[in-house]
Amino acid sequence: MLFRSYFVDEYSVGRTPNPCVVCNHWIKFGKLFDYAASVGAEYVATGHYARLTPAADGSPALRRGVDSGKDQSYVLFGIPEELLPRMMLPVGEYRKAEIRALASKLGLRVADKRDSQEICFVTSGKHDEFVRARREADLSGEIVTTDGRVVGRHPGIERFTIGQRKGLGVAMGEPYFVVRIEPKTCRVVIGRSEDLACRELTASRCNWLTDVGSEPIQCHAKIRYNSPPVPAVAELQGDDRMRVTFDEPRYGVAPGQAVVLYNGDRVLGGGWIDSPTT
Protein backbone atom coordinates (compact mmCIF):
# COMPACT_ATOMS: atom_id res chain seq x y z
CA MET A 1 0.00 0.00 0.00
CA LEU A 2 2.82 2.43 0.85
CA PHE A 3 4.43 2.12 -2.59
CA ARG A 4 1.12 2.33 -4.44
CA SER A 5 0.20 5.54 -2.61
CA TYR A 6 3.65 7.03 -3.18
CA PHE A 7 3.53 6.07 -6.87
CA VAL A 8 0.09 7.58 -7.43
CA ASP A 9 0.79 10.72 -5.39
CA GLU A 10 4.03 11.52 -7.21
CA TYR A 11 2.54 11.22 -10.70
CA SER A 12 -0.45 13.27 -9.57
CA VAL A 13 1.76 16.27 -8.77
CA GLY A 14 3.84 16.09 -11.95
CA ARG A 15 6.81 14.21 -10.52
CA THR A 16 8.34 10.95 -11.79
CA PRO A 17 8.43 8.39 -8.98
CA ASN A 18 11.06 5.71 -8.49
CA PRO A 19 9.33 3.00 -6.43
CA CYS A 20 12.23 0.56 -6.78
CA VAL A 21 14.54 2.94 -4.90
CA VAL A 22 11.90 3.54 -2.22
CA CYS A 23 11.36 -0.21 -1.88
CA ASN A 24 15.06 -0.80 -1.33
CA HIS A 25 15.25 1.87 1.34
CA TRP A 26 12.07 0.95 3.22
CA ILE A 27 11.76 -2.83 2.80
CA LYS A 28 15.08 -4.48 1.97
CA PHE A 29 17.24 -2.18 4.06
CA GLY A 30 14.59 -1.18 6.56
CA LYS A 31 12.08 -3.82 7.56
CA LEU A 32 14.37 -6.70 6.54
CA PHE A 33 17.14 -5.38 8.78
CA ASP A 34 14.64 -5.00 11.62
CA TYR A 35 13.65 -8.64 11.17
CA ALA A 36 17.30 -9.73 11.01
CA ALA A 37 17.95 -8.00 14.32
CA SER A 38 14.90 -9.67 15.87
CA VAL A 39 16.21 -13.17 15.04
CA GLY A 40 19.83 -12.41 15.88
CA ALA A 41 21.13 -12.43 12.30
CA GLU A 42 24.45 -10.62 12.01
CA TYR A 43 24.30 -9.90 8.28
CA VAL A 44 21.75 -9.31 5.53
CA ALA A 45 22.67 -10.47 2.02
CA THR A 46 20.90 -9.33 -1.15
CA GLY A 47 21.33 -9.97 -4.87
CA HIS A 48 22.03 -6.37 -5.89
CA TYR A 49 24.73 -5.81 -8.49
CA ALA A 50 26.89 -3.61 -6.29
CA ARG A 51 29.97 -4.14 -4.14
CA LEU A 52 31.22 -3.42 -0.64
CA THR A 53 34.96 -3.04 -0.19
CA PRO A 54 37.07 -1.37 2.51
CA ALA A 55 37.82 2.33 2.12
CA ALA A 56 41.23 3.80 3.02
CA ASP A 57 40.17 4.10 6.67
CA GLY A 58 38.90 0.53 6.76
CA SER A 59 35.20 1.43 6.76
CA PRO A 60 32.94 -0.28 4.18
CA ALA A 61 32.47 1.63 0.93
CA LEU A 62 29.54 1.02 -1.41
CA ARG A 63 30.79 0.71 -4.99
CA ARG A 64 29.43 0.02 -8.45
CA GLY A 65 29.10 -3.59 -9.53
CA VAL A 66 31.63 -5.19 -11.86
CA ASP A 67 28.93 -5.60 -14.54
CA SER A 68 28.39 -1.97 -15.59
CA GLY A 69 25.30 -2.94 -17.60
CA LYS A 70 23.62 -4.36 -14.49
CA ASP A 71 25.06 -2.07 -11.81
CA GLN A 72 22.46 -1.27 -9.13
CA SER A 73 24.47 0.98 -6.82
CA TYR A 74 22.24 3.90 -7.85
CA VAL A 75 19.19 2.40 -6.11
CA LEU A 76 21.10 1.87 -2.86
CA PHE A 77 22.12 5.48 -2.15
CA GLY A 78 19.54 5.88 0.65
CA ILE A 79 20.80 3.07 2.87
CA PRO A 80 21.70 4.32 6.36
CA GLU A 81 25.50 4.45 6.58
CA GLU A 82 25.48 2.52 9.87
CA LEU A 83 24.01 -0.53 8.07
CA LEU A 84 26.91 -0.92 5.63
CA PRO A 85 28.99 -3.14 7.99
CA ARG A 86 26.03 -5.57 8.19
CA MET A 87 25.45 -5.84 4.43
CA MET A 88 26.63 -8.56 2.06
CA LEU A 89 26.45 -8.11 -1.73
CA PRO A 90 27.81 -11.41 -3.10
CA VAL A 91 26.89 -11.02 -6.79
CA GLY A 92 28.46 -7.60 -7.32
CA GLU A 93 31.87 -9.08 -8.11
CA TYR A 94 30.41 -11.06 -11.05
CA ARG A 95 28.89 -10.33 -14.41
CA LYS A 96 25.27 -11.34 -14.97
CA ALA A 97 26.28 -14.08 -17.43
CA GLU A 98 28.57 -15.59 -14.78
CA ILE A 99 25.75 -15.61 -12.22
CA ARG A 100 23.46 -17.36 -14.69
CA ALA A 101 26.17 -19.94 -15.40
CA LEU A 102 26.64 -20.60 -11.69
CA ALA A 103 22.88 -20.95 -11.19
CA SER A 104 22.69 -23.38 -14.09
CA LYS A 105 25.57 -25.45 -12.72
CA LEU A 106 23.74 -25.68 -9.39
CA GLY A 107 20.52 -26.69 -11.10
CA LEU A 108 18.58 -23.61 -10.02
CA ARG A 109 15.40 -22.92 -12.01
CA VAL A 110 16.08 -19.18 -12.00
CA ALA A 111 19.15 -19.63 -14.23
CA ASP A 112 17.10 -18.77 -17.32
CA LYS A 113 14.62 -16.42 -15.67
CA ARG A 114 13.97 -13.28 -17.71
CA ASP A 115 15.17 -9.99 -16.28
CA SER A 116 12.44 -7.98 -14.60
CA GLN A 117 11.43 -4.95 -16.68
CA GLU A 118 8.23 -3.68 -15.10
CA ILE A 119 7.21 -2.30 -11.72
CA CYS A 120 6.11 -5.29 -9.66
CA PHE A 121 2.72 -3.89 -8.61
CA VAL A 122 1.82 -2.43 -12.04
CA THR A 123 1.31 -5.79 -13.71
CA SER A 124 -0.24 -4.31 -16.87
CA GLY A 125 2.82 -2.17 -17.55
CA LYS A 126 0.50 0.84 -18.04
CA HIS A 127 1.28 3.12 -15.14
CA ASP A 128 -1.09 5.90 -16.28
CA GLU A 129 -4.08 3.54 -16.10
CA PHE A 130 -2.93 2.39 -12.66
CA VAL A 131 -2.82 6.00 -11.42
CA ARG A 132 -6.18 6.98 -12.95
CA ALA A 133 -7.90 3.99 -11.34
CA ARG A 134 -6.80 5.27 -7.92
CA ARG A 135 -7.35 9.01 -8.32
CA GLU A 136 -10.74 10.72 -8.38
CA ALA A 137 -9.33 14.08 -9.47
CA ASP A 138 -9.39 15.04 -13.15
CA LEU A 139 -5.77 15.60 -14.15
CA SER A 140 -6.46 16.34 -17.83
CA GLY A 141 -5.38 19.63 -19.36
CA GLU A 142 -3.71 21.51 -22.16
CA ILE A 143 -0.54 20.69 -24.05
CA VAL A 144 1.35 23.92 -24.70
CA THR A 145 4.68 24.88 -26.25
CA THR A 146 7.36 26.74 -24.31
CA ASP A 147 6.10 30.02 -25.78
CA GLY A 148 2.59 29.38 -24.46
CA ARG A 149 0.91 28.20 -27.66
CA VAL A 150 -1.85 25.64 -27.00
CA VAL A 151 -1.40 22.71 -29.40
CA GLY A 152 -3.67 20.05 -27.90
CA ARG A 153 -5.15 18.42 -24.82
CA HIS A 154 -4.19 15.37 -22.80
CA PRO A 155 -6.21 12.96 -20.59
CA GLY A 156 -3.95 13.29 -17.52
CA ILE A 157 -0.50 14.46 -16.42
CA GLU A 158 0.19 10.95 -15.07
CA ARG A 159 0.95 9.93 -18.68
CA PHE A 160 4.03 12.12 -18.87
CA THR A 161 7.57 12.49 -17.60
CA ILE A 162 10.28 15.03 -18.34
CA GLY A 163 12.16 14.18 -21.53
CA GLN A 164 9.34 12.03 -22.96
CA ARG A 165 9.01 12.12 -26.75
CA LYS A 166 6.60 9.33 -27.67
CA GLY A 167 2.90 9.40 -26.89
CA LEU A 168 2.48 13.17 -26.73
CA GLY A 169 -0.69 13.00 -28.82
CA VAL A 170 0.19 16.00 -30.99
CA ALA A 171 1.94 16.24 -34.37
CA MET A 172 4.50 19.05 -34.45
CA GLY A 173 6.34 18.20 -37.67
CA GLU A 174 9.62 17.73 -35.78
CA PRO A 175 10.70 16.05 -32.52
CA TYR A 176 9.17 17.62 -29.42
CA PHE A 177 9.69 16.55 -25.81
CA VAL A 178 8.03 17.08 -22.44
CA VAL A 179 9.95 19.98 -20.89
CA ARG A 180 7.81 20.75 -17.85
CA ILE A 181 4.68 19.53 -16.08
CA GLU A 182 2.57 22.12 -14.24
CA PRO A 183 0.42 20.27 -11.66
CA LYS A 184 -1.63 23.30 -10.57
CA THR A 185 -2.96 23.91 -14.09
CA CYS A 186 -2.41 20.32 -15.35
CA ARG A 187 -0.54 21.79 -18.30
CA VAL A 188 2.11 19.73 -20.08
CA VAL A 189 4.75 21.97 -21.64
CA ILE A 190 6.59 20.62 -24.68
CA GLY A 191 9.62 21.93 -26.54
CA ARG A 192 12.61 21.07 -28.66
CA SER A 193 15.60 19.08 -27.44
CA GLU A 194 17.55 22.20 -26.52
CA ASP A 195 14.72 23.28 -24.20
CA LEU A 196 15.52 20.26 -22.02
CA ALA A 197 19.09 21.38 -21.34
CA CYS A 198 19.77 21.59 -17.60
CA ARG A 199 22.93 22.94 -15.99
CA GLU A 200 21.85 22.68 -12.36
CA LEU A 201 19.40 20.91 -10.12
CA THR A 202 18.38 21.06 -6.50
CA ALA A 203 17.78 17.97 -4.40
CA SER A 204 16.47 17.29 -0.91
CA ARG A 205 16.18 14.39 1.57
CA CYS A 206 19.86 13.68 0.97
CA ASN A 207 21.62 10.67 2.45
CA TRP A 208 25.39 10.27 2.78
CA LEU A 209 27.35 7.03 2.94
CA THR A 210 30.60 8.73 3.91
CA ASP A 211 31.71 12.01 5.46
CA VAL A 212 31.60 14.49 2.57
CA GLY A 213 32.48 17.55 4.66
CA SER A 214 31.01 20.98 3.94
CA GLU A 215 33.04 22.12 0.92
CA PRO A 216 31.84 21.73 -2.70
CA ILE A 217 32.22 18.12 -3.86
CA GLN A 218 33.91 17.35 -7.17
CA CYS A 219 32.14 14.20 -8.32
CA HIS A 220 30.25 12.35 -11.02
CA ALA A 221 26.47 12.60 -10.79
CA LYS A 222 23.87 10.15 -12.09
CA ILE A 223 20.29 11.42 -12.65
CA ARG A 224 18.54 8.18 -13.62
CA TYR A 225 19.17 4.48 -13.19
CA ASN A 226 20.07 3.99 -16.85
CA SER A 227 22.04 7.21 -17.37
CA PRO A 228 25.84 7.44 -17.06
CA PRO A 229 27.51 9.36 -14.21
CA VAL A 230 28.85 12.69 -15.53
CA PRO A 231 31.23 15.31 -14.06
CA ALA A 232 29.57 17.71 -11.65
CA VAL A 233 30.03 19.79 -8.51
CA ALA A 234 27.69 19.35 -5.54
CA GLU A 235 27.23 22.13 -2.97
CA LEU A 236 25.62 21.16 0.31
CA GLN A 237 22.80 23.38 1.57
CA GLY A 238 22.23 22.24 5.12
CA ASP A 239 21.98 18.67 6.33
CA ASP A 240 19.62 17.31 3.71
CA ARG A 241 19.73 19.58 0.66
CA MET A 242 22.20 20.19 -2.15
CA ARG A 243 22.67 21.94 -5.47
CA VAL A 244 24.37 19.99 -8.27
CA THR A 245 26.01 21.84 -11.18
CA PHE A 246 27.00 19.83 -14.26
CA ASP A 247 30.09 20.48 -16.35
CA GLU A 248 27.94 19.99 -19.46
CA PRO A 249 24.15 20.32 -19.80
CA ARG A 250 22.06 17.26 -18.98
CA TYR A 251 18.77 16.41 -20.66
CA GLY A 252 15.64 14.93 -19.10
CA VAL A 253 16.28 15.86 -15.46
CA ALA A 254 13.01 14.86 -13.80
CA PRO A 255 11.72 15.94 -10.37
CA GLY A 256 11.02 12.84 -8.30
CA GLN A 257 14.00 10.88 -9.58
CA ALA A 258 17.20 10.47 -7.56
CA VAL A 259 20.55 12.13 -8.18
CA VAL A 260 23.41 9.96 -6.92
CA LEU A 261 27.01 11.14 -6.49
CA TYR A 262 30.11 9.04 -7.15
CA ASN A 263 33.82 9.40 -6.52
CA GLY A 264 35.22 6.97 -9.07
CA ASP A 265 33.17 3.83 -8.47
CA ARG A 266 32.30 4.71 -4.87
CA VAL A 267 28.81 5.92 -3.95
CA LEU A 268 29.06 9.07 -1.84
CA GLY A 269 25.32 9.50 -1.39
CA GLY A 270 22.47 11.26 -3.10
CA GLY A 271 19.08 12.91 -2.84
CA TRP A 272 15.70 13.34 -4.50
CA ILE A 273 15.51 15.86 -7.36
CA ASP A 274 13.25 18.81 -6.65
CA SER A 275 13.81 21.04 -9.66
CA PRO A 276 16.13 21.43 -12.65
CA THR A 277 17.55 24.79 -13.70
CA THR A 278 18.63 25.88 -17.17
* Contact (Cβ atoms closer than 8 angstroms) between residue 208 and residue 76: no
Amino acid at 205: R
The catalytic site residues sit at 23, 120
Distance from C-alpha of 142 to C-alpha of 148, rounded to nearest angstrom = 10
* Contact (Cβ atoms closer than 8 angstroms) between residue 163 and residue 196: yes
